Amino acid sequence: MFQRFFTELRAARVPVSLKEYLVLVEALEKQAIEMRVEEFYYLSRTALVKDERHLDKFDRVFGQVFKGIENTGEAVDAAIPDDWLKALSQKFLSEEEKAQIEALGGWDKLMETLKQRLEEQKRAPPGRQ
């Protein structure tokens, strides 16, 4: 859903960068807001729109992408494409951290393990996550 939001903002000619998108995702991961549509609207507008001339386009895209979304009280799936993560890891991880990833079986194995753990958490009874 977030990837669609990002691409539709860019298609509407709102100049949104990958860095701004990742800042938004990081804020969500750190639970900077309660997961309510109104709070997400203001957070994403703040993180993604740097010029008030683009606010109307942002509002239209937000309305289209998130139409009908209500407060679920659950975390939103903010999936980041694997190739973006790989590129960022090459840029920001130390050689030691890269070696640790390789020792664990490489990037693909690490991502597979992470996906398995997330699925296990989803299946766990409430309070045991």
- Mean pLDDT to the nearest integer, 118-127: 69
User: In this model, does residue 71 exceed pLDDT 60?
Assistant: no
Rounded-to-integer distance, Cα 97 and Cα 40, Å: 33
User: In this model, does residue 48 exceed pLDDT 50?
Assistant: yes
At residue 36, the pLDDT reads 85
Rounded-to-integer distance, Cα 108 and Cα 120, Å: 18
- Mean pLDDT to the nearest integer, 98-115: 82
